[in-house]
Chain A
Amino acid sequence: MITAGIDMGAAFAKMVIVKDGELIGKGICKVTLEPEEAVRTVQELALKDAGVRPDEIQRVGATGAGRKLVKNADVVVTDVTADAAGANYLDKAVRTVIDVGGEEARAVKINEEGKVISFAVNDKCAAGAGAFIEAMTRALELPMEDFAKYSLKSTQKIPINAQCAIFAESEVVSLINEMTPREDICRAVHDGISDRVSSMAKRVGIEEKVVLIGGTAKNIGLLKSLEDALGMKITVLPDPEFVSALGIGILAAKDSEN
């Protein structure tokens, strides 16, 4: 059986092709101001990567903030359900999933079957989401990758008092003007968002093993800060930005069995 899982996020569209429980192809593209275009593009990319014709796809699953844009979906689930299914598929030992996306962050507590026990979501404020880091990279005029690396070289912990991304941007500019080393500023940005994400995660009651997924999971600076904030080891699942899409891809196949 071949299924497709599409995760329409706020910043990126992700899609995977799953054949008999195995990941055989994936695609990712930026969501522009015409999200319907991203739905088309990501399907083309994933099909090409898997070497599969559109008519070979038996079932399509959709998740993410823009999941309703996937018109041909047979199964539609929330991000929370998809996160849980994807993480559980990759590692049965996972009990807490932290997903930091562009405009949303989630913490999901799951059992050994990948069932959701409790969860918390922030989709109201950019301060606890990837958009916060993105705004700060603009203020510092650094590419995301360098931003993450610089953070690890920081020698002192400094606070960024502003929570709001809009205010934090001005604060970062002040720090630059005060000749604060950019390594320390980068770390302060990661520490700030980690504070918000970890307090959200603590609300669901953290249990190990903890994994980080979503595009920001590739940011090693954020990972380090988040580990410090939670005081525990966090594992990054492989291809972290595709975990949610994988989850719905798997669920789409399961759903047809029932």
Chain B
Amino acid sequence: MTSQQVEYWRWDEGNWADPNKNWKEAKVISAGVDIGSVSTQAVIMTDGELYAYANTRSGYNSRESANKAIGMALNGTNLKLENLDFTVGTGYGRVKVPFANKAITEIACHARGANFMYGPTVRTVLDMGGQDLKVIRCDGKGKVENFLMNEKCAAGTGRGMEVIADLLKVPIGKVGELSFEVDEEPPPVSTTCVVFAKTEALGLLKGGWPVPKVLAAYCSAMAHRVYSQIMTVGIQQDFVITGGIAKNIGVVKRLEKELGFEFFKKTNIDTQLAGAIGAALFAKGLYEKQGRR
């Protein structure tokens, strides 16, 4: 691959399985598949505990994306698709999961997943996904009380960040870190629209700004955009972030600064998995209530 063909936006795909668990001892094996516009995740749980997962890029065909993700998750366990007691599909392609027993909206699944990942004290979930931005208020059981969703505009989404990473030729995983390699924080880029921000970023580069400075300007514009969306719903502690952008400290730290507090709740689980985890938890509950359908 030559340097020109490097796709800087491309984040790492992967799978994981817990070697210390034996699924044969489990009473319920449930699965959740979250087909987003940019990424697809599959999570397999044994009795409501994380057993295996996969994180992959969504293709043009949602069915194929679902099959690929569950295939990757099963790979590394000796489970087969038919061993899954109940599967719930979620995300924008939720009705296109061929092996799912039920589809549930991603809002419900994200709240439930955040409750699992960060604990029952979570009341506000900010999900920064590939193609949408959600602010969800939930109760101690991870049940949704109120939410706001922006799916019309790429500003403040993972896709927007991918576009900028590609433009500046910075691997997406390094954007956050690199954005702090500046002597002083530059003013944010003035345009919200990603298309215009691209033009503006090019202009700044041409004007002699080093790449980290341009990244800093973009990350802080994104943080500001997200801040105003959050404020529409309002924050109740504990506040947590899920989705791919949660891994980008360039946006997260600047958002903490705007909000005036640190996000002290941490998780060891990949933040992109929240929706699929929520779906797998719903799947367990449904199986226990009604059996396999």
Q: How many A-B residue pairs have CB under 8 A?
A: 47
Taking a contact as CB atoms closer than 8 A, the residue among B152, B191, B196, B203 that contacts A163 in the complex is B152
Determine which residue in A103, A165, A166 has the highest number of CB atoms from chain B within 10 A of its CB, and name it: A166
Chain A contacts for B153, CB-based, 8 A = 125, 163-164
The reply to whether B37 and A170 contact each other, CB–CB distance below 8 Å, is yes
Report the minimum CB–CB distance from A67 to chain B (whole Å): 17
Report the minimum CB–CB distance from A131 to chain B (whole Å): 5
B163 at interface (Cβ–Cβ under 8 A)?
A: yes
The reply to whether B60 and A126 contact each other, CB–CB distance below 8 Å, is no
Given A33-B202, A164-B154, A166-B163, A126 and B131 contact (CB-CB distance below 8 Å) = no
B214 at interface (Cβ–Cβ under 8 A)?
A: no
The reply to whether A166 and B195 contact each other, CB–CB distance below 8 Å, is yes
Task: Give 1 or 0 for each of B191-207: 1 = CB within 8 Å of chain A CB.
Answer: 11111100100110010
Size of interface on B: residues with Cβ below 8 Å to A? 19
Size of interface on A: residues with Cβ below 8 Å to B? 20
The reply to whether B194 and A166 contact each other, CB–CB distance below 8 Å, is yes
Given A125-B193, A131-B196, A135-B195, A166 and B202 contact (CB-CB distance below 8 Å) = no
B160 at interface (Cβ–Cβ under 8 A)?
A: yes
B159 at interface (Cβ–Cβ under 8 A)?
A: yes
State A10–B200 Cα separation when bound (angstroms): 11
Chain A residue at smallest Cβ distance from B154: A166
Query: Majority SS of interface residues in chain A?
Result: helix
Report the minimum CB–CB distance from A51 to chain B (whole Å): 34
Chain B contacts for A165, CB-based, 8 A = 154, 193-195
The reply to whether B60 and A177 contact each other, CB–CB distance below 8 Å, is yes
Chain B contacts for A126, CB-based, 8 A = 193-196
Chain A contacts for B191, CB-based, 8 A = 124
Interface residues of A in 149-169 (CB under 8 A from B): 163-167
Chain A residue at smallest Cβ distance from B191: A124
State A164–B202 Cα separation when bound (angstroms): 20
The reply to whether A174 and B60 contact each other, CB–CB distance below 8 Å, is yes
Given A126-B196, A167-B154, A170-B37, A33 and B203 contact (CB-CB distance below 8 Å) = yes
Determine which residue in B191, B193, B199 has the highest number of CB atoms from chain A within 10 A of its CB, and name it: B193
Chain B residue at smallest Cβ distance from A104: B196
Taking a contact as CB atoms closer than 8 A, the residue among A124, A131, A167, A177 that contacts B192 in the complex is A124
State A103–B160 Cα separation when bound (angstroms): 18
The reply to whether B37 and A166 contact each other, CB–CB distance below 8 Å, is no
Interface residues of A in 211-240 (CB under 8 A from B): none
The reply to whether A34 and B206 contact each other, CB–CB distance below 8 Å, is yes
State A126–B163 Cα separation when bound (angstroms): 15
Chain A contacts for B193, CB-based, 8 A = 124-126, 165
Chain A contacts for B195, CB-based, 8 A = 126, 131-132, 135, 165-166
Chain B contacts for A90, CB-based, 8 A = none
Given A33-B203, A33-B206, A174-B60, A166 and B196 contact (CB-CB distance below 8 Å) = no
Report the minimum CB–CB distance from B154 to chain A (whole Å): 4
Chain B contacts for A174, CB-based, 8 A = 60
Chain A residue at smallest Cβ distance from B206: A33
State A146–B138 Cα separation when bound (angstroms): 51
State A207–B154 Cα separation when bound (angstroms): 34
A173 at interface (Cβ–Cβ under 8 A)?
A: yes
The reply to whether A125 and B154 contact each other, CB–CB distance below 8 Å, is no
Task: Give 1 or 0 for each of A98-129: 1 = CB within 8 Å of chain B CB.
Answer: 00000100000000000000000000111000
Task: Give 1 or 0 for each of B63-87: 1 = CB within 8 Å of chain A CB.
Answer: 0000000000000000000000000
Interface residues of B in 116-175 (CB under 8 A from A): 131, 152-154, 159-160, 163
Chain A contacts for B202, CB-based, 8 A = 33
Determine which residue in A33, A103, A167, A170 has the highest number of CB atoms from chain B within 10 A of its CB, and name it: A167
Chain A contacts for B163, CB-based, 8 A = 166
* Residues of A bordering B, CB below 8 Å: 10, 33-34, 103, 124-126, 131-132, 135, 163-167, 170, 173-174, 177-178
* Residues of B bordering A, CB below 8 Å: 37, 60, 131, 152-154, 159-160, 163, 191-196, 199, 202-203, 206
Q: List 27 A-B contacts (CB under 8 A).
A: A33-B202, A33-B203, A103-B199, A124-B191, A124-B193, A125-B153, A125-B193, A126-B193, A126-B194, A132-B195, A163-B152, A164-B154, A164-B194, A165-B193, A165-B194, A166-B154, A166-B159, A166-B160, A166-B163, A166-B194, A166-B195, A167-B131, A167-B154, A167-B159, A170-B37, A170-B159, A178-B60
In the A-B complex, the 4 residue pairs with the closest CB atoms = A126-B195, A166-B154, A33-B206, A177-B60
New A-B contacts (13) at CB < 8 Å, excluding given A135-B195, A167-B154: A103-B196, A103-B199, A125-B192, A126-B195, A131-B195, A132-B195, A165-B193, A166-B159, A166-B163, A166-B194, A166-B195, A173-B60, A177-B60
